[in-house]
Amino acid sequence: MERDAAIIEVGLNEAVSRAHHPEIPITPEEIAADALRCEAAGAAAVHWHARDPVSGQQRSSDVALYGAALDHMRAGGDVVAYPTYPTQPPDSVEERLGHCWALREQHGLEVAPIDIGSVNVITWDDDRNDFVEAIDTLAGRTVVQNSLDFTLKALARFDDHGLVPSVAAFDVGFTRTMVNLVRAGRLHEPVFFKIFIMGAWAVGPQPDEAAIDAHLHQIPADLDVEWMVVPYTIGDPALVERLCRHALERGGGIRVGIGDNPAAHPDAQNAQLVEQAVSWAREAGRPVASAADLRTRFDL
């Protein structure tokens, strides 16, 4: 992999319903076909949430649904693909991430996700200038909780199973924690690191270029970190583009997808967003990493 190659990842579906976006892939076959179209367009990696094929409901730890999608992807391409995991119970590594161990053993999963801090889920409506839900409704039930104890145990289990962690930061403090995990020998270089820049999910700094720079300011030059920016829950396509272009100019990768920002791309398909991302990378003078490049970079 060329050292300045940009990794393009896709957030295929997240928790978005077909009512919010008609192109959201739901079944394992749809997810795999979409992933392969994204790979052909230039994506090296995809992330997705298993969904009930009939109802579309989240099935965050369903080994059978994830495994079926992975097998279809492997039959038709080479894209690096990895799942999500449930937020509950907050302190149980096995219950939250056990499907990843099974997917590693049964379907050759290479990468697994981990969020390395805790945040409130506070959703904000710019048009109404108010919270989407009342504060008393949010209290006590919408916290993404990831303690340091959970993080350390999860990273140790990733090592046991030969999985590379895809590390997510929702706020600047997470990035500082990532650095400390490397310094402590609990997280290994190169780090596969995602910087979420949030819109309607009002977590972290306001979504702009300065927010990206604030994260990058926490990362010492001597750390080997392969970082990407993930614009998330943003409804303005121009802002998504600005954030992605800034990340590319700063030397990072980017994640695009109708799962991440359905309101910004109401008529798009994921592969079209990848094609656009490839054009942004080329305009920034950056080569685009392939799935094979990604595997080489992280010794998958």
pLDDT digits (tens, 9 = 90+) for 213-252: 999 999 999 999 999 999 999 999 999 999 999 999 999 9
In this prediction, residue 261 carries a pLDDT of: 98
Residue 11 has pLDDT above 70, yes or no: yes
Q: Kindly indicate the confidence band of residue 3, based on its pLDDT and cuts at 50, 70 and 90.
A: confident
Residue corresponding to tokens 């790979």 = 39
pTM of the model: 0.96
What is the spatial distance between Cα 292 and Cα 79, in angstroms, rounded to a whole number?
8
Which pLDDT tens digit goes with each residue over 118-138? Answer: 998 888 888 899 988 654 444
In this prediction, residue 86 carries a pLDDT of: 92
The stretch 93-120 carries a mean pLDDT of 97
Question: Could you give phi then psi for residue 209, rounded to 5 degrees?
Answer: -65, -35
Question: Average pLDDT, whole number, for the chain?
Answer: 95
What is the spatial distance between Cα 12 and Cα 135, in angstroms, rounded to a whole number?
30
In this prediction, residue 139 carries a pLDDT of: 44
The stretch 169-196 carries a mean pLDDT of 98
In this prediction, residue 253 carries a pLDDT of: 98
In this prediction, residue 135 carries a pLDDT of: 47
In this prediction, residue 141 carries a pLDDT of: 59
Residue corresponding to tokens 């999985």 = 163
The stretch 22-40 carries a mean pLDDT of 98
Q: Is the dihedral angle over the CA atoms 83, 226, 12, 246 positive or is it negative?
A: positive
Residue 80 has pLDDT above 80, yes or no: yes
Residue 250 Cα distances to 103, 210, 214, 226, 293, angstroms: 34, 12, 12, 12, 20
In this prediction, residue 147 carries a pLDDT of: 96
How is residue 274 written in tokens? Answer: 């990848």
Ordered domains of the chain (ranges, CATH) = 8-298 (3.20.20.70)
| Beta pairing class for 225-232 and 124-125 | unpaired
Residue corresponding to tokens 């076909």 = 33
